[in-house]
Amino acid sequence: MNEQWSEKLLTRFLHYVKTYTESKPGVEQIPSTPQQWDLANYLKDELERIGLEDVSIDEHAYVMGYLPSNVSEHLPTIGFIAHFDTSPDFSGKDVNPQIHHNYHGGNIMLNKEQNIEMLVSEFPELRDFAGQTLITTDGTTLLGADDKAGLAEIVTAVEYLIQHPEIPRPRIAVGFTPDEEVGKGAHLFDVEKFGADWAYTMDGSSVGELEYENFNAASAKITFKGKVVHPGYAKNKMVNAIHIARDFSAALPADEVPELTDNRQGFYHQHTISGDVDEVVLDLIIRDHDEELFQRRKDFVLKIAQSMNKNFGQERVVVELNDQYFNMFKQIKDKMHIVDLAREAMENIGITPDIKAIRGGTDGAQLSYKGLPCPNIFAGGQNFHSRYEYVTLESMARATEVIIEIAKLATQKFAR
């Protein structure tokens, strides 16, 4: 990608990350926060400006637009999808991106006043980006490369295709979603209106990542019911909910947690806890790629609660268990040509595909179960949901090139 288009990509990305779009868990409405409308409306207008057709935004802030095919042969419609909200896990307000041209490969002082530094000793992969244009936070917020890098790549790719009609392409559907970070990005996505035969989310991390497996995911809200009385007169009367929560936590496998697992290993993640002697509420996340092991994990949580309640002789541990999404592999395994297309596109432009299972979720998981097979492709960002989040311009440019190459390659492979 030449300097002119790289500059467009960078300008677009910086505008997106400076627009506040943090989502909020536990809110019924979609989008969960009003600020998401600002970028959604901007994206709708931008797609119209660059020349897409049938651009729309619905009452829930889902944005769609279409680039018609420029060949006579009948081809499938291919979609590209990204989300515009940012994670509530770390502040996404007042993002102040820092650009490090020709990055030197060493430690980066993100914020001198607050002495916030990103150390190569903690993030050794930083060395791989020496000489590139590195974009970081100022240490006080996340960056929002998850997934505003994906937004910028998709918009830049379709604009490039519009301005280069000599490149053959199928019909391309573009979709931007709210609330992915709170697990609802695909809930109201209109698959029929989108009209794609399959799609790709541009929501992965390192260059080359191509994913068509993800965690099966469930959430558990666990309420521990105590009995509060004056501590001076508590013998044989008080029941301390904090202690019940402690015992429940101790019953979970200590080594099956996010910080001690990788690859295809599942985990239990105690995400938030709050309360007092009378009542404690724990939010627990349950994850596993394997469907059978996933069910075992959920059953194990229920078994702990049942055992504790039996010992108490009454219900003091209440579990509300909800499935969130499932492994998309089940929906894609018979449609591997869509994975092969992305893999070959990467190889054609000199990228070595890194095919692996996602240790997380993606809109593509839910969309695959709604009838839109949707593997995930890298967007280039690193250290998502944290003050140490970063991306390089070169990584985003490579992702943009993959989109363009998929369009080009599809006309060769699927014309009929």
Report the pLDDT averaged over residues 347-357.
96
For residue 271, give Cα distances in angstroms to 115, 142, 164, 221, 246: 28, 19, 48, 10, 14
Range in 71-75, 93-97, 242-246 with the lowest mean pLDDT: 71-75
Neighbours of 12 (CB within 10 A): 19
Give residue-wise pLDDT tens across range 276-325. Answer: 999 999 999 999 999 999 999 999 999 999 999 999 999 999 999 999 88
CB 379 within 8 A of CB 233: no
Beta pairing class for 279-288 and 216-225: antiparallel
Positions marked catalytic: 85, 180
Average predicted confidence (pLDDT) for the chain: 96
Give residue-wise pLDDT tens across range 146-191. Answer: 999 999 999 999 999 999 999 999 999 999 999 999 989 999 999 9
pTM summary value: 0.90
Q: What residues contact 124, with CB distance under 8 A and at least 6 apart?
A: none
Neighbours of 277 (CB within 10 A): 17
- What confidence tier does 416 reach under pLDDT thresholds 50, 70, 90? low
Residue 173, both tokens: 């559907």
Give residue-wise pLDDT tens across range 89-144. Answer: 999 999 999 999 999 999 999 999 999 999 999 999 999 999 999 999 999 999 99
**Angstrom distance (rounded) from CA 149 to CA 17:** 9
Pick 361 or 14 by higher pLDDT.
Answer: 14
For tokens 């419609």, name the residue: 77
Residue 362, pLDDT score:
81
Residue 330, pLDDT score:
93
In three state form, how does the secondary structure of 183-246 look?
A: CCCCCCCCHHHHCCCEEEEEEECCCCEEEEECCEEEEEEEEEECECCCHHHCCCCCECHHHHHH
Residue 346, pLDDT score:
98
